[in-house]
A = this chain, B = another copy of it.
Amino acid sequence: MGLTAGSLYKAFKDKRAIFIAALDRYIQSREVELARHLESAQTGREKVLATLRCYGDVSHDVEGRRGCLVLGGLTDIDTFDAKLAHRFRQALSRIEHLFAGFIELGVQDESLPNHLDVEMSARYLLCMVEGMRVLGKRGANAAEIEGIVLQAMRSLD
């Protein structure tokens, strides 16, 4: 059988520490996955698309229903644990800043139009990503998510 409850306390101080470790591991694995998606992306536009697809990929079928630890944490914990709340917020801000960087790059390399409001667009894309994860949790298929990704890309034209 699996790991027993008590055994975990050998390795971790308390429940909260277990959660934080799981969260850090989760966030890091997402970073790795994102890096993988970005490998083949050249232009700013391609990087934005790759990032959207990276989150889209975990927003459908089984993995979609499994949900996101950051999103889940943000909804529960937020209220009563300031330290953790900060971690969740930061995880979202990370995505937002990545988008902002890619958009700036896209404007420079002319893969994206120069009339874009960078901060606004980045926030909008973050909104999409989180929305997709919610839809994934509700139950979405790959085609539905891909449709949303493409529509999101069109908002950058």
Inter-chain contacts of A152 with B (CB < 8 A): 124
Q: Is the interface of A mostly helix, strand, loop or mixed?
A: helix
* Stoichiometry (number of copies): 2
A73 to chain B, nearest CB (A): 9
How many residues on chain A are close to B (CB under 8 Å)? 36
- Render A89-119 as a binary contact track against B, CB cut-off 8 A, 1 for contact: 1001000000000000000000000000100
Query: Which of A117, A126, A137, A154 is packed against the most chain B CB atoms within 10 Å?
Result: A137
- A residues with a Cβ closer than 8 A to B are 65, 67, 71-72, 74-76, 78, 88-89, 92, 117, 120-121, 123-124, 126-135, 137-139, 144, 147-148, 151-152, 154-155
